[in-house]
Structure 1
Amino acid sequence: MRRVDREHYAGLLRLAYLVLDDGDAPLARARRVAAGAARVRHGGHPARRARLVALLLTAPPAGRHRLHRLFVEPVRTPPGPVRAALRELSPHERLAYLLRCDGLTAPEVAAELGVHRESGVRADFRDVDRVTAAVDGRTGLDEAAQRAEIEAFEPDLVRLRPPPAVPPAWRAGMAAVLAAALVAVAGFVLTRPDAAPGGPAAIDPGAWQKTGTPTINEWPAQGGRLHDAGLLRRAADAWRTDRRDPPLGRVFVLYAGTVDGAALVVLRDSPGPRDAPRVAQYFERRLSRGVESVRTLGTGAGQLIMLGMTWRYLVPPWLRDVRAAMPSRRSPDWQPVAVRDGLSDPLPWSWFTPRCQNYVVFQMTSRPAAGGRPRTVTQLAPHNPQSAAPQVWFRDPPEQEERFRWAALHAVACEAAATLTESGDLRLGHLWSGELPEGGGRATLLTVDASSPAPGGSILISEDGRALSERGGTNSATTSSAGTITAALWWRAPRRWHLVAAAGPSVARLKTVGELGSHEKGAGRPGGTPLLVVPGPRAGGTPPETARLPVVQVVAYESDGDRTVVSPS
């Protein structure tokens, strides 16, 4: 199936599933109807949608006994407020609401449904408005938040079913036949050296109180099912036998409890000092069990860990006063998050929408018990339990201005100043602030460095964190000192491009070499920040005009005679 067809099919499947959903996971029926609508080759999305409506209103229901249901079952994600509200409506009302969300006006929805009056549908634009108002009232969400929940819902997710229960006599016979077949084919059985049976180990509950800098190695086990030896053993064995991401070294338990009706065990491995540990999440639900996600931590420091699709987070005991905010807002609207036995309350559903790389900002107070000083911890936590969750630091001397801190977080999460999904911990720096030429307004040159071995980046941002340039380069891959860091990037003014370069107070002067010629600028005063702005070519045409920018490098001369070279990227 071509890519455009797959995209159309995904939208058609979502619409069909939500119309048919009565809490029974109607994935097979929804697939059949969506596949029939996707076969329409002419007329684009409106024609496919019209065909889908016809199939939903006129096609007979599919049989419930399907062979594939013996092996897989739909992933039953907890319904959000919109899905819960739709289940209280009739299928015809759900269809009217979803067509309205798909961009049709109320009269257009009535006309789309009116073609199929033989199916018993009686709807005019007042009925469509009534259904829309009913969902508004039941959810308390605005139109954008309702549409975001619908677009984020992915019904086409399945997991393997556990083997069905069989009588003991059959089980013994099947085991004997299987054993004979394995011996005949292989003659022997290979066993993983790290697949020894048994449950996971547990950390001493008081270990984190004996160090001023606790990490995941001191994170104690929490939760109400730590004494369920069978659950812990099944979880550890399931991870050890995982073919794609098995654990390295000894397996430890971080959490074991019941969350939203499902048994959950969170495990971590111990790969050694050269590799970051990984965290696995094992769920047991009705007719379903297994490891559902494995994530590598950016560092060994204690981090919040999202638990499946529960909108909850696992919190180590030394992080207190947890609060969260959406990075898309102009200023932080911190909301307190309650934590009980290491498990946070769920965040509002409306926060989990596809924006700002699907990240939420958390701030906590780290209070180690063994003489460590309390400090504020900032972390960007994802909606996806498999994505990285970087902690955020600010370069020394620490930037105390809350406005800059929030603008920097907004730029990182929402303005592509960094790619968070695979990022290590981030260190953000305020290198320069001032007025741009040609009436460009006030800007800040933000540096972004990741803990993973990768070149640093830079970006010009406005006072509210809006990106004013593409990413630029820094020399942070070769220097960790805030005083010697240098950044260079291209900024497009209304009439022409400008090369903008700035450096820390330990850099005495900056100089350009290359196709722009030789331009030089000093700090101007002891301890000052050198800034070099060089006019470039005129800004005309449309991208990818950046491919025609001059080849140039910036040389940073430090006060002690050292120098580094930076290229704008």
Structure 2
Amino acid sequence: MVNREHYAGLMRLAYLALDDGDDPFMRARRAAAEAARGRRGGYPAMRTRLVAILLTDPPAGKHRLHRFFFEPKRTPPGPVRAALLELSPHERLAYLLHRDGLTAPEVAAELGTHLQADFRYVDRATAAVDSRTGLGEAAQRAEIEAFEPDLVRLRPPLAWRTALAAVLAAALLAVAGVVLTRPDDVPGEPAAIDPRAWQTTGTPTIDEWPAQGGLRHNARLLRRAADAWRADRRDPPLGRVIVLYAGTVDGASLVVLRDSPGPREAPSVAQYFERRLSRGVESVRKLGTDAGQLIMLGMTWRYLAPPWLRDLRAAVPSGRSPDWMPVAVRDGLSDPLPWHWFTPRCQNYVVFQMTFRPAVGGLPRTVTQFASHNPQSAAPQVWFQDPPEQEERFRWAALHAVACEAAASLSESGDLRLGRLWRGELPDGGGRATLLTVDESSPEGARGRSILISDAGRALSERGGTNSGTTNSPAQTMAAAVWWRSSRRWHLVAAAGPRVARLKTVGELGSHEKKAALLVVPGPRVGGAPPETARLPVVHVVAYEMDGDRTVVSPS
């Protein structure tokens, strides 16, 4: 028996957590009924069971038979429900549990069995709804408690009779072996962004990326693509599904879609192909950020570009200098690049440069991005910490080091920030070198890496560490350390930015301290053991900042 006393509250919680604009009535009803069915423990225990069901049970098949006879009571969403539509399902659930009387740590404990969430995650979700609604906690709870998702009414008699006739006809045709329901007839067409939205902001992102392509008005194709992605068990979309591109590419119908997971998570992009003998979603990739960026299309060697990125050009990073080739873009789709450009030597990546031309305010600026031939790999944008007047030669050397000398793993990378912390002569006649720093935008707070490179971008050392993940200014690396091997011995090379007062070593190399921007400490001599098996001393570098703080950097 279902506990009717608490069923309404459980149903409300389930519906609002699952609500993606496509009427999750039946799934919420089943989850609430299962959580409330004849068990002891009261409402808290039922709510715990409901959370487990929502987080662990896969979406069931689409049951629409009830729609022939009943229809939900249509009420426009209030500010709280409208704000929840912009969050991911997990964030909605965290917010709703918080508003249901649990503290943030209690919500984190409730969710922690099934996903990684702490009290900060709960606070962020709650703050997102607060900022969108402008309502106090009491007003938000009042709207939630007034929402009754299980109110339905009988459809009008004529519609009911028509629906019944449709059901009977479907049954007869099914017996006869005829397939009545096609993907074309299933509701769920993806949404489209106003094509003028990106022109109203100086910082457009993927949220303002309009639909492009010659098939963007083909409702049946878009519906098939959206339903295929929703049915994907491995990487289904979160929130609303929105079309970015629909057109014919190399004889195939292609639809590119994105989801809407909320402001705290980056969206995913899915690519749906219809070819002569096959159809389906062929790739799903989570973007590193929500910034508008190039999107690789299948194995077509083509890319999608948002309308605010112009003057597209590409170059192979293995070259000694950039040999830029203009790439034409028509209706958001680029011409194909030569397939032989993508070589394993440079992680199968090429370098793109584009001009960002904001429609509202601001001056045009150059955007640099890596992209591969694999639509499931990351496509990080690149930023440089150096001032704009810094020479182009260093920038190309840094790009070469990242792609071709393993200074970063591009296929798993977020957006990159590259910096030059030091440049000068190495000891023992090692020649000129640059200490390059590589910081990634994700995961948040990740420590950056550093590497010594030549003026041509060749790696002169293994990767070392920086303190960028622990500094007060994550956008600017302040200290880095690497091990460098000359012809005679190993050296610890540490450098610091202008905000560091002094550097000091601690560990097996003893104590060495210097106030200058560079600290080089001789290490063990090169012996008979191969460099890859030689044991290096355990050593750390302490960076003392101008304001009295200090952080520790490891060279390995």
TM class, shorter-length: 0.5 to 0.7
Q: Greater CA deviation, 483-492 or 432-441?
A: 483-492
Normalising by structure 2, we get a TM-score of 0.66
Secondary structure at the counterpart of residue 508 of structure 1: strand
Q: Would the aligned equivalents of 1:488 and 1:568 in 2 still touch at CA under 8 Å?
A: yes
Secondary structure at the counterpart of residue 495 of structure 2: strand
Distance 1:558 1:398 in 2: 26
Residue 555 of structure 1: which of 514, 539, 542 is its match? 542
Query: Is 1:486 the equivalent of 2:479?
Result: yes
Secondary structure at the counterpart of residue 535 of structure 1: strand
1:271, CA displacement in angstroms? 0.2
* Matching residue's letter, 2:188: G
Query: Is 1:511 the equivalent of 2:504?
Result: yes
User: CA separation of 1:494/1:246 partners in 2, compared to 1, >3 Å: closer, same or farther?
Assistant: same
* Matching residue's letter, 2:550: R
Distance 1:484 1:204 in 2: 39
Query: Is 1:501 the equivalent of 2:494?
Result: yes
Partner of 1:275: 265
Partner of 1:208: 198
* Matching residue's letter, 2:452: L
1:562, CA displacement in angstroms? 1.7
Distance 2:474 2:224 in 1: 48
Deviations 1:408-465 (A, max 9, x none): 0000000000000010000000000111111111100000000013210000000000
Q: Would the aligned equivalents of 1:474 and 1:487 in 2 still touch at CA under 8 Å?
A: yes
Partner of 1:317: 307
Q: Would the aligned equivalents of 2:503 and 2:543 in 1 still touch at CA under 8 Å?
A: yes
1:556, CA displacement in angstroms? 0.9
Over 4 Å off, 4+ runs? 168-171, 174-177, 481-484, 542-547
Distance 1:242 1:511 in 2: 54
Deviations 1:86-132 (A, max 9, x none): xxxxxxxxxxxxxxxxxxxxxxxxxxxxxxxxxxxxxxxxxxxxxxx
Partner of 1:294: 284
Secondary structure at the counterpart of residue 355 of structure 1: helix
Distance 1:175 1:443 in 2: 74
1:522, CA displacement in angstroms? 1.1
Secondary structure at the counterpart of residue 551 of structure 2: strand
1:559, CA displacement in angstroms? 2.0
Q: Would the aligned equivalents of 2:437 and 2:477 in 1 still touch at CA under 8 Å?
A: no
User: CA separation of 1:439/1:231 partners in 2, compared to 1, >3 Å: closer, same or farther?
Assistant: same
User: CA separation of 1:231/1:542 partners in 2, compared to 1, >3 Å: closer, same or farther?
Assistant: farther
Partner of 2:90: none
Secondary structure at the counterpart of residue 362 of structure 1: strand
Q: Would the aligned equivalents of 1:267 and 1:279 in 2 still touch at CA under 8 Å?
A: yes
1:398, CA displacement in angstroms? 4.2
Residue 341 of structure 2: which of 351, 357, 362 is its match? 351
Deviations 1:378-398 (A, max 9, x none): 000111010000000001534
Partner of 1:106: none
Query: Is 1:327 the equivalent of 2:320?
Result: no
1:372, CA displacement in angstroms? 2.9
Partner of 2:174: 172
Secondary structure at the counterpart of residue 411 of structure 2: coil
Q: Would the aligned equivalents of 1:392 and 1:428 in 2 still touch at CA under 8 Å?
A: yes
Matches of residues 244-259 of structure 1 in structure 2 within 5 Å?
A: 244-259=234-249
Partner of 2:274: 284
Distance 1:564 1:400 in 2: 28
Q: Greater CA deviation, 467-476 or 393-402?
A: 393-402
* Matching residue's letter, 1:286: R
* Matching residue's letter, 1:432: W
User: CA separation of 1:170/1:416 partners in 2, compared to 1, >3 Å: closer, same or farther?
Assistant: farther
Residue 396 of structure 2: which of 390, 406, 426 is its match? 406
Secondary structure at the counterpart of residue 302 of structure 1: coil
Partner of 1:533: 520
Q: Would the aligned equivalents of 2:424 and 2:432 in 1 still touch at CA under 8 Å?
A: yes
Secondary structure at the counterpart of residue 204 of structure 2: coil
Matches of residues 384-423 of structure 1 in structure 2 within 5 Å?
A: 384-398=374-388, 400-423=390-413
Matches of residues 393-472 of structure 1 in structure 2 within 5 Å?
A: 393-398=383-388, 400-453=390-443, 454-472=446-464
1:197, CA displacement in angstroms? 3.2
Deviations 1:489-525 (A, max 9, x none): 10011111000000001211111111000111112xx
Distance 2:286 2:477 in 1: 32
* Matching residue's letter, 1:470: E
Secondary structure at the counterpart of residue 220 of structure 1: coil
In the alignment of these two chains, the number of paired residues is: 380
Partner of 2:50: none
User: CA separation of 1:325/1:542 partners in 2, compared to 1, >3 Å: closer, same or farther?
Assistant: farther
Q: Greater CA deviation, 457-466 or 196-205?
A: 196-205
Distance 2:177 2:190 in 1: 28
User: CA separation of 1:328/1:229 partners in 2, compared to 1, >3 Å: closer, same or farther?
Assistant: same
Q: Would the aligned equivalents of 1:483 and 1:505 in 2 still touch at CA under 8 Å?
A: no
* Matching residue's letter, 2:321: S
User: CA separation of 1:552/1:411 partners in 2, compared to 1, >3 Å: closer, same or farther?
Assistant: same
Partner of 1:567: 554
The runs of 5 or more residues in structure 1 that have no matched partner are 1-167, 180-195, 524-529
Distance 2:317 2:361 in 1: 33
Partner of 2:162: none
Partner of 2:17: none
User: CA separation of 1:267/1:503 partners in 2, compared to 1, >3 Å: closer, same or farther?
Assistant: same
Distance 1:330 1:260 in 2: 33
Distance 2:270 2:475 in 1: 37
* Matching residue's letter, 2:215: R
Distance 1:509 1:347 in 2: 49
Q: Would the aligned equivalents of 1:512 and 1:552 in 2 still touch at CA under 8 Å?
A: yes
Q: Would the aligned equivalents of 2:468 and 2:475 in 1 still touch at CA under 8 Å?
A: no
Distance 1:554 1:250 in 2: 48
Secondary structure at the counterpart of residue 347 of structure 2: helix
The runs of 5 or more residues in structure 2 that have no matched partner are 1-169
User: CA separation of 1:200/1:483 partners in 2, compared to 1, >3 Å: closer, same or farther?
Assistant: closer
Distance 2:532 2:327 in 1: 47
Q: Would the aligned equivalents of 1:249 and 1:270 in 2 still touch at CA under 8 Å?
A: yes
Q: RMSD of the TM alignment (CA)?
A: 2.2
Q: Would the aligned equivalents of 1:212 and 1:370 in 2 still touch at CA under 8 Å?
A: yes
Distance 1:535 1:242 in 2: 56
Q: Would the aligned equivalents of 1:430 and 1:445 in 2 still touch at CA under 8 Å?
A: yes
Query: Is 1:242 the equivalent of 2:232?
Result: yes
Distance 1:513 1:419 in 2: 30
Distance 1:483 1:458 in 2: 13
Q: Would the aligned equivalents of 2:342 and 2:372 in 1 still touch at CA under 8 Å?
A: no
| Identity over aligned pairs, percent | 84
Deviations 1:342-371 (A, max 9, x none): 000001122133230000100001011011
Partner of 1:375: 365
Residue 473 of structure 1: which of 453, 465, 474 is its match? 465
* Matching residue's letter, 2:482: L
1:237, CA displacement in angstroms? 0.3
* Matching residue's letter, 2:526: A
Distance 2:418 2:230 in 1: 38
Q: Would the aligned equivalents of 2:228 and 2:281 in 1 still touch at CA under 8 Å?
A: yes
1:173, CA displacement in angstroms? 2.8
Q: Would the aligned equivalents of 2:450 and 2:481 in 1 still touch at CA under 8 Å?
A: yes
1:563, CA displacement in angstroms? 1.3
Q: Would the aligned equivalents of 1:484 and 1:505 in 2 still touch at CA under 8 Å?
A: no
User: CA separation of 1:395/1:557 partners in 2, compared to 1, >3 Å: closer, same or farther?
Assistant: same
Q: Would the aligned equivalents of 2:385 and 2:476 in 1 still touch at CA under 8 Å?
A: no
Distance 1:482 1:316 in 2: 26
Q: Would the aligned equivalents of 1:213 and 1:372 in 2 still touch at CA under 8 Å?
A: no
Distance 2:308 2:344 in 1: 31
Distance 1:229 1:449 in 2: 43
